[in-house]
Amino acid sequence: MAEPLARAEEAFETSGSTPVSVVLTVLNEAGTISGLLEELLAQDLAADEIIVVDGGSHDGTVEAVRRVSEQHRQIRLIRAPGANISQGRNRGIAEARCEVIAVTDAGVRINPGWLRLITEPLRSGRADVVAGSFEPDPRSPFETAMGATVLPELRDIDPRTFLPSSRSVAFRKAAWQEVGGYPEWLDYCEDIVFDLNLRAGSSLRVAYEPSARVRFRPRSNMLAFFRQYFRYARGDGKADLWRRRHAARYLAYAYFAANVICLLLPDVRRHRMAVFELSAVTLAGTALYLRKPLRRLLRLGRGATPGQWLCMLALLPAIRVTGDVAKMAGYPAGWLWRLRNRPPDWHRP
């Protein structure tokens, strides 16, 4: 293991207790930040400090944090106007006083045992990184369908390859230092790059703790969802992530478009063959594509009325297609940015 981690191991062996810092970034979260801070303060394992890095809010977020921090001195506010998520996280982690760091995001809901569960493998010396999990917290049939479509269930996750969202992750500060922190040149998918670097070598031990769950609300309308997935895919392009996955998406839709064009040709025989082929492929592809979302919806949609069920079932393919279109638009935008700006190679040596 690298020298910083060796020193961290020694500290864990000689210390009777393990202090923990929680770091989160915020931007215009006046409606949710007070509730999140109260949930962090109510954890059954108390954080030694809670660091909130504000990226330049103008909606009362800063004032809300200050009101809570006046009564709870372990809350520290760092103002960093213009900082992106990576810059904000790195700033907060760099200024954290504790060796064990737990990271989450504004807008989530946290169970009372989250901090204890996600840091236990670190506090016991069994891991250098702990991947937590997350689940949807829908408030409407649309959000329920959205959560079922885009968010994996625990059974969908392979602990050996899982890349945790920084909504629910913890690590030793030395591990963060070893991989160079979050990539500050990247505005979206920054946690994926960070995760890949953590997993790249054999020196860092990664544990998966599925019970360390946070809940967050899915996007509440299709436009907000399109923007979200456009930005995610643009981040993929900027970081040169998932080339094959994006190429497969383009090929699948190109194949579908080619068959639709065949329907417009005057040759009746060719027209009939195209209709049959397109119908068969579309039905098979749709069934495969919606299998997991439908399975998740059966759990998330419990208690829904028949009308709500019809609405949610109709939304599943619409959300899938909207997400695909957003990704196909965002990925080349990211690559164009990459060609113009030539970002540093983020791969860990």
Tell me if 182 sits within 8 A of 191, measured CB to CB. yes
Residue 235 has a pLDDT of 97
Contact 72, 144 (CB under 8 A): no
C-beta separation of 49 from 102 below 8 A? no
Answer for the pair 348, 200: CB distance below 8 angstroms, yes or no: yes
Q: Are 150 and 70 in contact (CB under 8 A)?
A: no
pLDDT computed for residue 65 by the predictor: 96
pLDDT, residue 182, reads 97
For the chain, which residues score pLDDT lower than 50?
1-16
Kindly report, as residue ranges, where domains of CATH 3.90.550.10 are found in the chain.
3-216
pLDDT for 289: 81
What's the pLDDT at 349?
Answer: 65
Domain 3-216: top CATH class: alpha beta
279-298 residue pLDDT tens: 677 777 777 888 899 999 99
What pLDDT does residue 326 have? 98
Instruction: Give the sheet arrangement for strand 49-54, strand by strand.
Output: 75-79, 49-54, 20-26, 100-105, 169-172, 129-136, 206-216, 108-110
> pTM of this prediction?
0.87
**pLDDT tens-place string over residues 68-81:** 999 999 999 999 99
